[in-house]
């Protein structure tokens, strides 16, 4: 009898959690990323990628550069900005976090990590036209 009462109480708690508490809770960020998000701003420019000699060096925001991270350099977007980089030739894209300054070569808008370049099909061309979509600014901005 006591066991049945405990099981009933546990079931009631789950029902309350699912129908009373859970709807008021904010969904995790991952759930939001699966839905289309309209960019704050979008523009087209050229992208290049960091060569192998940069791995481990300090970036402009003080972090160590990691060629396998989803990061990029931009001349003036605030550090922590999230940008979707779409290769206009392949249609492949990745979302990156701005953590460095650059590129310093005229005609280039963004430098992406090796991982991003590999994913969007930028390795062989070295430089390619991309669509940049500013998805989020850092909270402190």
pLDDT along the chain (141 residues), means of 10: 56 51 46 69 97 91 96 98 97 98 96 97 95 94 56
**Is the whole-model pTM more than 0.85?**
no
Contact 99, 63 (CB under 8 A): yes
**Can you give the pLDDT at residue 141?**
56
**Measured CA distances, 136 to 23, 36, 77, 88 (Å):** 25, 13, 11, 21
Residue spans of the domains in the chain: they are 38-136
DSSP lists the bridge partners of residue 127 as 48
**Can you give the pLDDT at residue 110?**
98
Assign domain 38-136 one CATH number from 3.40.50.10150, 2.130.10.10, 1.20.1630.10, 2.40.40.10. Answer: 2.40.40.10
**Can you give the pLDDT at residue 28?**
47
**Can you give the pLDDT at residue 9?**
56
Cα 62 from chain centre: 19
Q: What's the rounded Cα separation, in Å, for the pair 90 and 44?
A: 14
């Amino acid at each position: 009898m006591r066991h049945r009462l405990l099981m009933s109480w546990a079931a009631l708690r789950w029902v309350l959690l699912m129908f009373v508490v859970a709807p008021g809770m904010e969904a995790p960020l991952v759930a939001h990323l699966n839905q289309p998000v309209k960019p704050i701003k979008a523009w087209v420019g050229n992208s290049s990628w960091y060569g192998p000699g940069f791995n481990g060096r300090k970036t402009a925001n003080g972090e160590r550069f990691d060629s396998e991270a989803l990061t990029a350099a931009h001349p003036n977007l605030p550090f922590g900005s999230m940008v979707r980089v779409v290769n206009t030739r392949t249609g492949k894209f990745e979302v990156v976090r701005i953590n460095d300054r650059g590129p310093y070569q005229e005609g280039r808008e963004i430098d992406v990590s090796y991982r991003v370049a590999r994913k969007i099909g930028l390795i062989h061309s070295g430089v390619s036209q991309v669509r940049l979509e500013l998805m989020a600014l850092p909270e402190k901005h």
